[in-house]
Amino acid sequence: MNYLYFGLGVGLLIVAAIDLLWTTLWVEGGSGPLTARLMRRTWKLLRRAGTYSPRIRTLAGPVVLVLGLGMWIALLWGGWVFVFASAENALRDTIDAGPISWAERFYFVGYSLFTMGNGDFAPRDGLWQILTALMTASGMLLVTLSITYVLSVLDAVTQKRTFARNVSGLGTDGEAIVTTTWNGDGFDDVALPLNSITTALNELTSNHKAYPILHYFYTDDREAAAVLSVASLDDALTLWQRATPEENRPNDSVLENARSSVQGYLDTVSTFATQSDEHPPLPDLTVLRKAGVPTVSDEEFDDVLEELKERRRTMHGLIQADARQWPGTREE
């Protein structure tokens, strides 16, 4: 037996199993080490290419997904090929009684992994029959987990864009959301849609934890971009909670619940970006006043923004990492 080939094959299989199970089953673990590196490097490349055509960035999610699946297949396939190459007598040709070539081992592993059922080659009795059964089981596990993973990710992408459109339907920036929900006397009607949006944001945050690849599904439609909608929502919460007189504000418990959900989202996705060195554009109270919304003084609101500057810079960093401009700012 060639122990180098056997050890290399087993090593590849262990790496494949760890990364596959880590990525698809460990909800709190995020992506496996190999998948995480693959995602970052692919996004970095496509983000740079998107300078010439922003639509290229929309390929990032599908490309990363396909590359990840391809990587798992390659690791399993290669690992089993090396395992069966470690012994000259591991396989026998059922048609021609000649030596087994590398191409024939590759073929045998392929049809065994994906249960094609061809019988051109067969394992020798004993250990190699057991290993063949394990190989077929690993192939079935790969296919089952991969299909489940892909469907779950695509469902999460749909939910992500639905959330973004629910927010942008109220307004594309914080000021627009506040003026849209002002009824002339207060914000009495905002509780129901805000609770619905908060629930959707909590689900989005959970999906980001379970499927970090979700972060790389880019859309060139600003109204369907979740990171912009979260920034708009956060600015709207600041305006509702700190820029309007207390008697005109929405229910404080509803606002606090939404604010907590935004913070949970930031804590989860901030691993994909660093805090921006630049301060994002400030909310403009003039827009609210023109719409008849009563506000606090500019000086008082400036103090509020000073308290929130670190939080807003974190949000700005996420938006920049997503190759976007702050809500209400024209895309370059």
H/E stretch holding 19 reads: helix 3-25
pLDDT of residue 261: 96
pLDDT of residue 50: 78
* 275 half-sphere exposure, CB direction, 13 A CA radius: 9
pTM over 0.85: yes
pLDDT of residue 118: 64
Query: Long-range CB contacts (< 8 A, 24+ apart) of 285-292?
Result: 285/243, 287/175, 287/176, 287/179, 288/175, 288/178, 288/179, 288/182, 288/239, 288/243, 288/244, 291/179, 291/182, 292/182, 292/184
d(CA 233, CA 243): 14
Radius of gyration of the chain (CA): 27
DSSP structural state of residue 217: -
DSSP structural state of residue 222: G
Give the CA-trace dihedral at 108, 114, 115, 116, to 10 degrees. -70
Query: pLDDT means per 10 residues in the chain (332 residues)?
Result: 92 96 88 93 88 84 95 96 90 79 90 77 87 92 94 96 95 94 88 95 95 93 94 96 90 93 93 88 93 92 92 94 84 52
